Structure 1
């Protein structure tokens, strides 16, 4: 554990920020929130139809976007015939924010006070809203403004690569950058389509496995930087606050300090900045024993966490509130119920 992490943990204990302290040896709860690429047709619809409280939380978010929220909801409810494709950022980003936040809020509604939050890309905005950096209404306004500007950015894409960051970076060429470091050999690169395709060919020729991410935009690269910067005025208009819950950032790679949390420029720059989820997860797991709960679709972060040595050893554990594939057949409600049972079994739910 770094000096920064030790000091932050001591401050949280002194201030009671993590709620009642866990008994010796008991795991603590951290919520993980996925971002772009995790979206799936029909994601969370089974839970939405089975759990009225979760449905009310999703509706609470969508209502804040007015007519656009109604359009998002219509496409979500009819995944086979949407007006706007799900992988378009105008659908993926709002829906991921809504589902992530509503799932996180559901866990809080159970009475759990998470000891840490960690988001990936847009998942960090959902985490920030739950941590109190932004109110839900403010976060929704930031998201609407962000999506509006990013929709005007040049097209591009992202590519998941099974390789070390330094190995991958040397094969990218001009116009393509490392956009996310998710683990020691889990990297995502981003850029405009032509240079990205050329980079993909070089990476495959070097024997590296690649897979296109589900996005039509070059997030976390200079391609979207001018559009992302246009979000600064809205962020300057809201009263950003220090987090009330420990918020680990996928952009700093560690615990988010108060000064950074209230910096509008930090939040405005996120769509173009690289995501350091792997280093952030390393820092979090170095703090002790955790039950990591993924609050979002697809279980991508759960899979990343299970590869981590702290989870593979059994010291910490990772579970997901939604199944790997969506379905309106009871699977989603069962997955959420299983997590609640796991929290109860580990004495992490209030009596």
Structure 2
């Protein structure tokens, strides 16, 4: 079989969590990519009284002071990443696997049929009310291993995520987290504040997790129709976990083990990883994986690394769609683009 006749590599989708958001993320597709626009409009309708506010926050050229708060960032990340996933599905791509980081795992679960989209939106609305009232806090990215940060971990500062062998997230209330950053910086470690105003993936938000459990128990849960890797267990999402409301509720206060879970996915599948969301933070992490460095798997980002304008969004998406089609990945013809901007976008 010649190189040109080689089958296309399977595609695995990755979905980012809080911190990846930026103003007008993927907004260049709105009103111009039909499937994406239809799902975004549906999300704003399902958000009810919050819908107009969230749409305005999303489309504003400059972010409001609340843009990185759970009340804005997480519902928009969920809606945008889900709509992008639906758009990729609309091309005829059936992913061999999906993996999400934090709220990105809820996106993957929704696309896999575990959670109905309307229930996902309802859960996001509940999260706005419950988690916005948690103590003021945040998350800190540290270029270090777990042993390097052990001295600052304890009752007030917590390990929130392992994103790469030397890329961690810490979480805590504002003052203890700032003190941890000062101590780690004094040791010569590079620290960066994450765009978050709550201490997700730490015990700080445990009361909100407990309060959210009734909402999860009210949501019908199903076995996944597509393979999802869970960054909370480090492997394939089982039916048992998928059907357990407590498993989903407790994710918000549990550490994310993204790096080992991505390693597990790549051990099972030589594939093309497609970051299906704003930015390229997960793509950068994936390129550190040995199987990617060795060329067994590869990485693509669906969107530009930040707010580079509407046309940049469209060019990036078209480049990925054209590449997948050239590689003979099953991709349907481009959906008809309808310029609906003047009429306020498509209607469901």
Contact 2:109 2:228 in 1 (8 A): yes
Matched, 1:161 2:142: yes
Unaligned stretches of 5+ in structure 1? Answer: 1-22
Give the alignment of 1:211-222 within 5 angstroms. 211-222=192-203
Q: Counterpart in 1 of 2:301? A: 320
Secondary structure of 2:236 counterpart: coil
Q: Counterpart in 2 of 1:141? A: 122
Query: Offset at 1:309?
Result: 1.4
Secondary structure of 1:163 counterpart: coil
Give the counterpart of 1:204 among 151, 160, 185: 185
Matched, 1:48 2:34: no
Q: Residue by residue, what CA displacement relative to the aligned partner does 1:72-121 show, whole Å, maximum 9, x if unpaired?
A: 00121124264x62111111001000111000010001111111010100
Q: Provide the rounded CA distance (Å) in 2 between the counterparts of 1:329 and 1:149.
A: 34
- In the superposition, the TM-score normalised over structure 1's length comes to 0.90
Contact 2:27 2:310 in 1 (8 A): no
Q: Counterpart in 2 of 1:109? A: 90
Unaligned stretches of 5+ in structure 2? Answer: 333-348
Q: Provide the rounded CA distance (Å) in 1 between the counterparts of 2:99 and 2:164.
A: 15
Contact 2:35 2:86 in 1 (8 A): no
Give the counterpart of 2:312 among 323, 331, 344: 331
Q: Counterpart in 2 of 1:245? A: 226
- Alpha-carbon spacing, 1:210–1:251, altered in 2? closer, same or farther (3 Å): same
Secondary structure of 1:74 counterpart: helix
Q: Provide the rounded CA distance (Å) in 2 between the counterparts of 1:68 and 1:156.
A: 24
Contact 1:128 1:247 in 2 (8 A): yes
Query: Offset at 1:170?
Result: 3.2
Query: Offset at 1:68?
Result: 0.3
Give the alignment of 1:195-344 within 5 angstroms. 195-344=176-325
Contact 1:228 1:272 in 2 (8 A): yes
- In the superposition, the TM-score normalised over structure 2's length comes to 0.91
Q: Provide the rounded CA distance (Å) in 2 between the counterparts of 1:24 and 1:154.
A: 54
Q: Counterpart in 2 of 1:14? A: none
Choose between structure 1 and 2 for higher RCO, CA contacts under 8 A separated by at least 6 residues.
Answer: 2
Give the counterpart of 1:348 among 322, 329, 344: 329
Matched, 1:63 2:45: yes
- Alpha-carbon spacing, 1:81–1:289, altered in 2? closer, same or farther (3 Å): closer
4+ residue runs over 4 A deviation: 23-26
Q: Counterpart in 2 of 1:131? A: 112
Query: Offset at 1:25?
Result: 6.7
Secondary structure of 1:158 counterpart: strand
Q: Counterpart in 2 of 1:8? A: none
Secondary structure of 2:200 counterpart: coil
Q: Provide the rounded CA distance (Å) in 2 between the counterparts of 1:180 and 1:76.
A: 26
Q: When the two structures are aligned, how many residues end up with a matched partner? A: 328
Q: Counterpart in 2 of 1:179? A: 160
Q: Residue by residue, what CA displacement relative to the aligned partner does 1:110-139 show, whole Å, maximum 9, x if unpaired?
A: 111111010100111111110000111111
- Alpha-carbon spacing, 1:24–1:328, altered in 2? closer, same or farther (3 Å): closer
Secondary structure of 2:179 counterpart: helix
CA RMSD of aligned residues (A): 1.6
Give the counterpart of 1:74 among 44, 47, 56: 56
Q: Residue by residue, what CA displacement relative to the aligned partner does 1:128-171 show, whole Å, maximum 9, x if unpaired?
A: 11000011111111111122110111110110000112322333
